[in-house]
Amino acid sequence: MSASLSHSAREARRRDRDRFICALFAPAERRQAVYSILAFNAELARIRGAVSEPILGEMRLQWWRDAIAALFDDPDNVPSGNPVLSEFASAVRKYRLPRPVIDAMIDARAADLIDAPHADLEALLAYAGATSGGVTELTLHALGAYDDPDVETGELMGAVRRAGAQLGAAWALIGLIRAHHALAAEGRTFIPRRQLATAGLSLEQVVAGEFSDELRDQLQLLAGIASQYVLECRSMRGRLPKGCIAAFLPANLAWRYLQRLRRARYNPAGGVLERSRATAQLSIILRALTGRF
């Protein structure tokens, strides 16, 4: 199977396994575009870990800004040598992926290069919406969700876009919660500074590894926001064009992660949120067949 996968598909499978599995249920002719979106996002997400200094990360982000600008200014003059860019550029051209969403995804990643957490909850949610929410929005475009006659009405189009943004933001929050201990080991936390201050927590306490009731409360708060987003997204079941269901299949996995987190009393230590690949695949297959994400 690996030999038949594109570079973007292999990168998506390696760096974004859950959403890669969901993408398998996209219409065959549009599946490569979804892979390229996932690979593009993964390439941005890995910048911090790939550089030794923030300035080098900024340079990489600027390279992507310049490459995307070149793509939209002259689609036939895209910088060569980067297979992720080449395959993503094909998706941009073929499905008219919106530049503002792409630019916002790149700009939001500048926050990854700063050790300090976001200032407040609003800033964190904006980051989640621009990054993972951007993935869902581009995926919906690639799947033709906004071209479907049933979605042409402004009300339904707005509902689909809002549901996608909420799912993307929820997925980002869950990912950050799953990464809590890994971030702490780096001396970092995603819990906003204002939330830390309100809870009477210092950054030093959070990254020290001790799991306090105050920390539990903050993780529960963020999990609650993610839960509400997923529930609102799932309220769209039955109203979506069949071809775009793949964009919303992560909602089922997100809900399962949140339920595991609740049972663990909001302590993500020891990999309690992780699940077997076989279980994840079976869950997605069942949801894809029934359309009940």
Residue with the two structure tokens 């309100």: 198
By residue range, what is the domain housing residue 277?
Answer: 2-290
Cα separation, 178 vs 215, whole angstroms:
14
Residue with the two structure tokens 């199977």: 1
> What CATH number is associated with residue 201?
1.10.600.10
Residue with the two structure tokens 């500074």: 193
Give me the number of domains the chain comprises.
1
Residues 91/135, Cβ–Cβ less than 8 Å:
no
pLDDT in tens, the chain (293 residues): 555 899 999 999 999 999 999 999 999 999 999 999 999 999 999 999 999 999 999 999 999 999 999 999 988 888 888 999 999 999 999 999 999 999 999 999 999 999 999 999 999 999 999 999 999 999 999 999 988 776 656 678 888 899 999 999 999 999 999 999 999 999 999 999 999 999 999 999 999 988 999 999 999 999 999 999 999 998 888 787 778 889 999 999 999 999 999 999 999 988 777 766 667 667 777 766 666 66
141: number of Cβ within 10 Å: 23
List the end-to-end C-alpha distance of the chain, in Å, as a whole number.
26
Per-residue DSSP letter, 80: P
Helix axes 121-142, 154-178, angle to 10 degrees: 120
